[in-house]
Amino acid sequence: MKKTLLTFLAATLFGGSVWASGYQVLLQSNRSTAMGNIGVGLRPDPSSINFNPGALAMMRGNGIQVGANLIYSGIAYQPFGSDEVSYADNPVGTPFHAFAAFGAEESPLKFGLGVYTPYGSTVVWEDGWEGQFNLKQLSLTAIFVQPTISYRISEQLSVGAGFIYSFGGVNLQRNIDLPMADGTYSNVEFDGKAAGFGYNLGLYFVPNEKLSVGLNYRSRINMEVEEGEASFNRPAAAAGQIPASTTFSSSLPLPSYLTIGATFRPTEKFMIGLDISRAGWGAYESLRFDFGDPVNGADFTEEERNYETAYTYKFGAEYQVAEAFKLRAGAYYDETAVQDGYLTPETPDANALGLTAGFGLNIGESLAIDGSVLYIDKEQRDNVSVFDDGLSGTFKSVALIPGLTLTYKF
């Protein structure tokens, strides 16, 4: 019992799949998403606030952009030596993004404000599944607010910087291996608000009409939970060991994200692009929780994570079918940050292939609609857990994510 009580707390709170590199889908512009999520080297639009603040200064005029995506995702898990497959039947996730960029005409300065949700997901495993003591459900939102300034140094080169304030909430529920009199299990719900700060830097270079190159660095952000609440539904008999509720604090690094990319236009109607990103997941070594009141005699828990730096290779293309209509397609390959043995139901991560397609439609001079669909296929992955109470079995995740973005230019 003791062991169980101690370790159930040590599992990921923020180590949710949303943070894992594979799910770090940058759904901040359906134009980018449609092209394998390339972004840093693209011709600027308001979403450059996120992808490359450096490019913003090159944007013509002002613009407002709003969009959203629908994440349909599922996870399957099959323990070794068993035919039984458990599924996470996740509710539809709805990340959104809104960007506004403006600057005086002919001014080399552009100002922007972005509000977007780069991380946000809900994982809901079926009742009584094999990993119920690891995770029943996880719901996480993180909203980034990013005021940005971008400066055009020359016709070829511009730079930009944004300050990120990130805030959000987390809710994690899991069962505890302490059966209660009615036959159900004890459970715990962690609920907390998290916030952090960071910055976003960019450089944009347009050597000629056909080529544009970008570099973007988004800093690591430590999401801090200060006054989270852990509520325990446990037998009265365990009241001496487990409080009904206690505060908790934790800190989780959102990794730094470095991207270099370029787009090339062989013809006026055709564009191809490539981005390579490096996510600094090495910062995520362990997950520690400190409790306000001791839980089963411990005032903190810690479990190792040992994530590794992961690269993502993105490729996309766009073809202008008609004056006001473009078709787009792309793909990316996303390396997992999670080592063998460290998979958890929150992060059933694996190397992933993303396939994308979409369109861009201009309606008049000032309005544009971009649509995309992204299909993420994670490699089926066997996990022999390094944790005593971890899950050893096969994970498989897929996601289908359609989305639309509206852009108004003025």
Contact residues: other proteins, CB under 8 A? 1-4, 7, 72-83, 85, 87, 89, 126, 130, 133, 177-183, 185, 235-238, 240, 375, 380, 387-389, 394, 396-400, 402
Find the shortest distance in angstroms from Cβ 175 to other proteins.
10
Find the shortest distance in angstroms from Cβ 195 to other proteins.
31
Find the shortest distance in angstroms from Cβ 134 to other proteins.
9
Residue among 224 and 379 whose Cβ is closer to other proteins: 379
**318: nearest Cα among 359, 262, 363, 260:** 359
Residue among 17 and 212 whose Cβ is closer to other proteins: 17
- Which two structure tokens, joined as six digits, stand for 243? 């409080």
Find the shortest distance in angstroms from Cβ 387 to other proteins.
8
Cα separation, 371 vs 406, in Å, equals: 9
Cα separation, 111 vs 117, in Å, equals: 20
Residue among 25 and 57 whose Cβ is closer to other proteins: 25
Find the shortest distance in angstroms from Cβ 401 to other proteins.
9
Residue among 118 and 131 whose Cβ is closer to other proteins: 131
Reduce the DSSP state of residue 363 to 3 states and report it: strand
Pairs from 388-391 (Cβ < 8 Å, separation ≥ 24): 388/3, 388/7, 389/3, 389/4, 389/7, 389/8, 389/133, 389/134, 390/134, 390/341, 390/343, 390/344, 391/77, 391/79, 391/130, 391/131, 391/134, 391/343, 391/344, 391/345
Helix (H) / strand (E) containing 53: helix 53-56
Find the shortest distance in angstroms from Cβ 367 to other proteins.
25
Cα separation, 167 vs 146, in Å, equals: 11
Find the shortest distance in angstroms from Cβ 337 to other proteins.
20
Residue among 75 and 254 whose Cβ is closer to other proteins: 75
Residue among 3 and 60 whose Cβ is closer to other proteins: 3
Residue among 246 and 394 whose Cβ is closer to other proteins: 394
Residue among 81 and 266 whose Cβ is closer to other proteins: 81
Q: Which residues, at least 6 apart from 237, have a Cβ–Cβ distance to it below 8 Å?
A: none
Find the shortest distance in angstroms from Cβ 398 to other proteins.
5
Cβ–Cβ contacts within 10 Å for residue 48, how many? 37
Give burial (CB, 10 Å; 0-12/13-18/19+) of 64.
middle
Contact 261, 274 (CB under 8 A): yes
